[in-house]
Amino acid sequence: MWRQDDLDSFASQLYPDDEVAQARAREELLSAAASLRDAQDELRRSIAETSIACLRGFLGDQVCEDLDRHLREQTPIVIEKVHAEQGRWQIDLIDNEYIPIAETKAGDPFSVLCLSPGFIAAIAEMSGFGETVVTTRRWVNRYGAGDSITPHDDTTGDFQVMICTTAPPGEYGGALVFENGTEATLQRGDLLVMRHADLVHWTTPLRDDVPSPRATATCRYYVEGGRLPRSRVYDHSLVGPKTGNRKDA
Ligand SMILES: O=C(O)CCC(=O)C(=O)O
């Protein structure tokens, strides 16, 4: 699934000065790839039935802790704090530019994993997509005490992965809940694969006494002919755009 240069790039970006840790990270990725291969039939079935599938313990604790720190401290990120009526959380935008996938550079270890063609092919296949992936968007959702993501529907993008890089025990909240009754309480290292299926979903608020934050690193994939982000464009006139002349771009 991941090629040798993906393993090398992940390991050297995460542990630039530590060859022992690099070797350990490469080994961990090989075993993560094997666990994804072993579980693929079950994951495909779960996505077809519920729109999501969860692979527990996909990445190990140490790699996740280090990845979380790397994404916070060393990735050039734009931070958005969202305060909505029914939720508040932080979005750390890794890449929000929708550039063609062939031109997208993996500037952090999470992006190295998600942009690898072998990984994309495996996730697309289990999510039921044969079309070419044309672009991605990557970010980390971060939640502290009292935070939750507001009920929403993903109206762009076709499928996505999330790796939980840190989470409190489930009794402190942070469950991901879908209107079809499906739920996932992610723990550090879990991989969630999600086919966008017009389902409203949200997370439950973290309790005030939560012992650690929750974070999910996300890569959303857009396929050719799929639900690409499109802006509305208008014909110009001397007095400005006219809504009657609306076209879809
Ligand atoms: O952090 C989560 O578990 C949910 C994130 C989510 O719903 C989204 O990014 O659309």
Look up residue 215 and give its two tokens.
Answer: 């974070």
Query: What pLDDT sits at residue 239?
Result: 62
Cα–Cα distance between 137 and 222 in angstroms, integer?
Answer: 8
Q: 0.85 exceeded by the pTM?
A: yes
Cα–Cα distance between 213 and 116 in angstroms, integer?
Answer: 28
Closest Cα to residue 104, out of 138, 129, 64? 138
CA of 80 to the centre of ligand 1 (A): 15
Question: Which atom of ligand 1 approaches the CA of 214 most closely?
Answer: 1
Looking at 113-117, 142-146, 200-204, 231-235, which range is the least confident one?
231-235
Average of pLDDT values for 76-105?
92
Cα–Cα distance between 123 and 50 in angstroms, integer?
Answer: 16
Cα–Cα distance between 26 and 73 in angstroms, integer?
Answer: 22
Which comes out higher in pLDDT, residue 154 or 146? 146
Closest Cα to residue 203, out of 159, 120, 244, 142? 142
CA of 208 to the centre of ligand 1 (A): 20
CA of 23 to the centre of ligand 1 (A): 31
Question: Which atom of ligand 1 approaches the CA of 218 most closely?
Answer: 9
Nearest CA to ligand 1 atom 10: 154
Average pLDDT, the chain: 93
Query: What pLDDT sits at residue 208?
Result: 97
CA of 149 to the centre of ligand 1 (A): 7
Look up residue 234 and give its two tokens.
Answer: 């208008």
**pLDDT tens digits along 13-65:** 999 999 999 999 999 999 999 999 999 999 999 999 999 999 999 999 999 99
Question: Which atom of ligand 1 approaches the CA of 174 most closely?
Answer: 3
**What does CATH list as the number for 4-229?**
2.60.120.620
Pocket probe mutation, ligand 1, options 153, 216, 221, max atoms within 8 Å of Cβ: 216
Query: What pLDDT sits at residue 197?
Result: 86
Cα–Cα distance between 53 and 78 in angstroms, integer?
Answer: 29
Q: What percent of the chain has pLDDT over 70?
A: 92
Looking at 75-89, 119-133, 189-203, which range is the least confident one?
75-89
Query: What pLDDT sits at residue 234?
Result: 59
Which comes out higher in pLDDT, residue 189 or 237? 189
Run of H or E residues at 54? strand 52-55
Q: What is the largest CA-CA distance in the chain?
A: 66
**pLDDT tens digits along 200-243:** 999 999 999 999 999 999 999 999 999 988 765 556 666 655 55
Cα–Cα distance between 233 and 111 in angstroms, integer?
Answer: 31
Query: What pLDDT sits at residue 229?
Result: 80
Q: What percent of the chain has pLDDT over 90?
A: 85
Closest Cα to residue 40, out of 199, 197, 193? 193
CA of 28 to the centre of ligand 1 (A): 25
* E strand residue ranges, 76-228: 78-84, 87-95, 133-143, 159-166, 176-178, 183-184, 191-195, 201-203, 214-223
- Tokens 């240069």: give the residue: 5
Ligand 1 shell residues, CB under 6 Å: 141, 149, 154, 176, 201, 203, 216, 218
CA of 83 to the centre of ligand 1 (A): 15
Query: What pLDDT sits at residue 249?
Result: 45
- DSSP character string of 74-114: TS--EEEEEEETTEEEEEEEEE-S---GGG----SHHHHHH
